[in-house]
Amino acid sequence: MKVVKTIQEVKDAVQVWRAEGQDIALVPTMGFLHNGHKSLMDKARKENDKVVVSIFVNPIQFGPNEDFATYPRDLEHDRAVCEAAGVDLVFAPEKEEMYKDGFCSFVGMNVLTEELCGKSRPCHFQGVCTVVSKLFNIVTPDRAYFGQKDAQQLAIIKRMVLDLNMNVKVIGCPIIREADGLAMSSRNTYLSAEERKAALILSQTLDLAEKMAKEGGYDAKSLLNALKKNIEAEPLARIDYVEAVNVLTMKPVEELSESTLVAMAVYIGKTRLIDNRMILGGEQ
Ligand code: AMP
């Protein structure tokens, strides 16, 4: 496995693979890799000849008061995880390599970015679409793997690929959780022992949402009221949003159906965590 820092080194490796007729997977990450990331790599490994993992904490998807500076980083650990997963190439550029002096071109999106994380984090998805477009141009993958943990991001990337005629198949992968239900996230490392317990409120509230939706008799409004009440009973939790949206459009729904995604962002202390579920078992 090679670890490279320059765009040219990635392009050189890809050129050789292409000449050999190999198909190529990309798994974009911000590093501090855990089993959620590993599940993407494992699927990529099974379905492709070559697997590229990018590790890049992308400055332009963070707002001015967010955690870009403190986001956890550990390249040695990440290298070992990638090696064990049978990855062929790790691309870990510095920010100056990705954003040269004078950088001023961005990929943006309307509609799908207007709710949920897009509402609380203006510019976040412009940063995501821009960096993912750059990675697609650099790696030219046949397939790219994204987690359903970031459900809005997955919907946005699928739409971007469709709208901009990009030659890549976007593959969504299920959310990997700790044994007690907490969705794995690099940001879980910010939690104190007490906060770690309180963080279970997210997955527990999604369990409740699924149970209520399956029972029937609730519209989105009554469901969301019950979910908010459930979260508010946890003293360390502060709701950013809890919404029931259509999984393709990311727009709020009134009635619950197979295409309804319940998504939430909740602060546990200072740490903002996200989680989501298709509450009636539909496809994401
Ligand atoms: P990140 O490093 O947080 O930007 O995540 C990189 C990729 O891993 C994204 O496509 C995420 O959706 C995915 N991912 C992160 N956490 C999980 C998880 N718990 N289960 C599945 N995929 C995940």
- Do 163 and 268 fall into the same domain? no
Predicted pLDDT at 187: 97
Nearest CA to ligand 1 atom 14: 147
Predicted pLDDT at 144: 99
Is there a domain that residue 179 lies in?
no
Which of 173, 204, 224 lies at the terminal end of a domain, its last residue?
A: 173
Asked if residues 235 and 268 have their Cβ atoms less than 8 Å apart, the reply is no
| Residue from 26, 27, 29 whose mutation best tests the ligand 1 pocket (most atoms within 8 A of CB) | 29
Q: Rounded distance, CA 2 to CA 209, Å?
A: 44
Q: Rounded distance, CA 257 to CA 253, Å?
A: 9
CA distance to 9, 91, 92, 189, per residue, from 2 (Å): 10, 9, 11, 27
- Do 52 and 144 fall into the same domain? yes
- Do 127 and 202 fall into the same domain? no
- Do 163 and 218 fall into the same domain? no
pTM above 0.75, yes or no: yes
Q: Domain of residue 204: give its range.
A: 186-276
- Do 165 and 113 fall into the same domain? yes
- Name the strands in the sheet holding 271-278, side by side, starting at the edge strand that comes first in the sequence: 237-246, 260-268, 271-278
For residue 254, what is the domain's CATH number? 3.30.1300.10
Region for residue 111 given its phi and psi (left: phi exceeds 0; alpha: psi -120 to 50; beta: otherwise): left
CA distance to 66, 172, 185, per residue, from 268 (Å): 15, 27, 13
Per-residue pLDDT of the chain (284 residues; tens, 9 = 90+): 999 999 999 999 999 999 999 999 999 999 999 999 999 999 999 999 999 999 999 999 999 999 999 999 999 999 999 999 999 999 999 999 999 999 999 999 999 999 999 999 999 999 999 999 999 999 999 999 999 999 999 999 999 999 999 999 999 999 999 999 999 999 999 999 999 999 999 999 999 999 999 999 999 999 999 999 999 999 999 999 999 999 999 999 999 999 999 999 999 999 999 999 999 999 99
Predicted pLDDT at 24: 99
Asked if residues 252 and 241 have their Cβ atoms less than 8 Å apart, the reply is no
Is there a domain that residue 90 lies in?
yes
Task: Determine if residue 8 is labeled as part of a ligand binding site.
Answer: no
Which DSSP category does 269 fall into? T
Give ∠ CA 87-276-121 in degrees, rounded to 5: 85
Which of 119, 138, 173 lies at the terminal end of a domain, its last residue?
A: 173
Is there a domain that residue 178 lies in?
no
User: Which phi and psi (to 5°) does residue 282 adopt?
Assistant: -70, 175
CA distance to 27, 263, 272, 279, per residue, from 115 (Å): 25, 10, 16, 19
Is there a domain that residue 181 lies in?
no
CA of 265 relative to ligand 1 center, distance in Å: 15
Is there a domain that residue 91 lies in?
yes
Predicted pLDDT at 174: 98
Nearest CA to ligand 1 atom 12: 147
Predicted pLDDT at 83: 98
Q: Which amino acid is at 122?
A: P
Q: How many domains, in total, are found in the chain?
A: 2
Is there a domain that residue 83 lies in?
yes
Is there a domain that residue 232 lies in?
yes
Which atom of ligand 1 has the smallest separation from the CA of 147? Answer: 12
Is there a domain that residue 26 lies in?
yes
- Do 69 and 146 fall into the same domain? yes
- Do 212 and 99 fall into the same domain? no
- Do 214 and 129 fall into the same domain? no
- Do 70 and 116 fall into the same domain? yes
- Do 196 and 163 fall into the same domain? no
- Do 126 and 236 fall into the same domain? no
Q: Which two tokens stand for residue 212?
A: 């209520």
Which of 150, 173, 196 lies at the terminal end of a domain, its last residue?
A: 173
- Do 168 and 250 fall into the same domain? no
Task: Determine if residue 153 is labeled as part of a ligand binding site.
Answer: yes
Which atom of ligand 1 has the smallest separation from the CA of 148? Answer: 12
Nearest CA to ligand 1 atom 10: 146
For residue 53, what is the domain's CATH number? 3.40.50.620
What number of other Cβ atoms are within 10 A of residue 209's Cβ?
26
Predicted pLDDT at 160: 98
